[in-house]
Amino acid sequence: MDADITTNDYDGDSSASTIILERSPATSPPAASPPARASTSSSASPPARASIPAPPVPDQDSSDKASGSVDLFDSQKTQARHYRTLQEMYKSKRPNKAAVAHLMNLEFESRRRFITSEVLKEQDKPTKILEVYPCFRELDHVMDELQRIIQPKNSRYILEVKDRWGNFLLKVQFYGVMKKAMKPPETLNGVEHATAVFTALPLIFPSNTVPPRKLGTSREALFHILTTSEDPETFLRQRSLSCPVVLVSEENCMIAVGSTPLTTFQKEQFDEELLYLMTYYYAMHLTYPKCISTLLSVFQTEILKDVIHERDTTQSYKKAIGEWKAFIEGCFCSVPVVSGWAHLYAQRRLWNLTSG
């Protein structure tokens, strides 16, 4: 890890140890047709809700008009109108996904104003947002939101992100072995292998702040493997960070933010867990914990291809991204990659390069 790592005895919530997530300017996607659907779907559908409260529309007085809040007022009225339609859709146990996506396209600008405004406190965001947008419990809808935020006009964006993520996973394993952050894997598949890679990632792309003492290791900011005696709800209530996390059980994986469970997915999809977490960081406008801010910033620029604000280009990020790109140019310029995984020949060649 970096030599400038500082000790942090902070044991509370992540609000005192986070970095603001900056995004490229959001553009409203065209309402004529919904974006391409993500291929990943949740194994648990959101519960039917008899009544879902719409965000409040404040009374507008002369002082509001004078302060320039007319646009926000109009945005909230539009949001409330669209939301009444969404509320009706979710009275059904199986809302029409295409219809929901189309409505989310229409309501994009007012929704982002609501989510990114100061009305919502960081710790309240998951609950409040899910009350208004229950569709965010479904991975395909929340990944659609990621596309709307970053590349609204690119219908293949999610597919391209998944391709980049697959290629990144291949290369980062060799990089991790070279940096002695992990051992050469015996297989390139399986939950056990993905666990080893995700455990190493915060060490491969280290931040200059250690995790809160109660958290333990940095990997706990990304995922936690539940023991047979651990209850998920109790664990989430006692967790020292409120950032998105994946809980891995014997049956499946659960995504949660703070103490709020969001959705579940099959363990076979665990190799995409970091992609799912980043999707929720964006959709809910959450902040990066400092202990994994470098890793998430690398993911933001290299996988999502989103710009990073100048103030967030820390020395740790600059060092990590510089070393990573130098490794890629030196080791992978002539290595063929197929669907995110190298040929057996390339595997053997690179293990020799990184282990030597």
One digit per residue, pLDDT tens: the chain, 356 residues? 444 433 333 333 333 333 444 444 444 444 433 333 233 333 333 333 223 333 433 334 444 444 445 565 565 676 677 778 887 888 888 888 999 999 899 889 888 988 998 888 888 889 999 988 999 999 999 999 999 999 999 999 999 999 999 999 989 988 998 899 988 877 656 788 899 999 999 999 999 998 888 888 999 999 999 999 999 999 999 998 899 999 999 999 999 999 999 999 999 999 999 999 999 999 999 999 999 999 999 999 999 999 988 887 899 999 999 999 999 887 765 544 444 444 444 454 454 544 44
Classify residue 312 as exposed, middle or buried by CB count within 10 Å of its CB (0-12, 13-18, 19+).
middle
Amino acid at 208: N
How far apart CA 304 and CA 149 sit, in angstroms, is 11
pLDDT at 295: 97
How far apart CA 141 and CA 126 sit, in angstroms, is 15
Contact 126, 136 (CB under 8 A): no
Beta strands at 244-248 and 253-257: parallel, antiparallel or unpaired: antiparallel
Query: In 3D, which of 77, 105, 109, 95 has the Cα closest to residue 137?
Result: 95
pLDDT at 56: 38
Radius of gyration, alpha carbons of the chain: 21
| List of residues 6+ apart from 337 with CB closer than 8 A | 167, 170, 346
3-state secondary structure of 337: strand
3-state secondary structure of 265: strand
pLDDT at 197: 93
Distance of CA 150 to the CA centre of its chain: 13
Amino acid at 203: L
pLDDT at 332: 64
Contact 214, 246 (CB under 8 A): no
How far apart CA 95 and CA 48 sit, in angstroms, is 10
Contact 324, 298 (CB under 8 A): yes
pLDDT at 18: 36
Domain ranges of the chain: 46-137, 160-355
Residues facing residue 261 across a β-bridge: 256
| Dihedral of the alpha carbons of 148, 150, 155, 156, in degrees to the nearest 10 | -140
How far apart CA 236 and CA 245 sit, in angstroms, is 9
How far apart CA 270 and CA 11 sit, in angstroms, is 28
pLDDT at 184: 83
How far apart CA 88 and CA 50 sit, in angstroms, is 9
User: What single-letter DSSP state applies at residue 306?
Assistant: -
How far apart CA 280 and CA 136 sit, in angstroms, is 9
pLDDT at 291: 94
pLDDT at 213: 85
pLDDT at 211: 85
How far apart CA 23 and CA 10 sit, in angstroms, is 28
